[in-house]
Amino acid sequence: MTAAERIVQAQLDAYNARDLAAFIACYAEDVKVYRLPSMALSLNGRAALADHYANKRFNLPKLHAALLHHIVQGSRVIDHEDVTLDGENRFRAVVIYDVNADGLIAAVWFVDAE
């Protein structure tokens, strides 16, 4: 397992545990989060990421993401996930992570379903 894979897996494990401190520790201070295909910047910086996940994800007791497929290309990791927010309704997510030289996630792209 590469360093990029390890940090992406660590953030997924923290996500499923709803452990905000462990989750945020996986990200660079200046992390950028985008939504494709528009390339709109949706979150800028670790503080914004922490606020978003504290208030819109980790407060959901049945939150869970299961990894379906995993692709590694150098410092980039692409995950295809099965996600539930409420334990019943599910959606598929494709997420691209770019890991920096410090071994932290520096950029994330969420691919919106069409």
Here the CATH number for the domain that contains residue 31 is 3.10.450.50
Q: What pLDDT is stored for residue 112 in this prediction? A: 76
Range(s) of the domain holding residue 35: 3-111
State pLDDT tens for residues 68-94: 999 999 999 999 999 998 888 899 999
The pLDDT tens digits for 20-53 are 999 999 999 999 999 998 888 999 999 999 999 9
Decide if 99 contacts 93 (C-beta within 8 A).
no
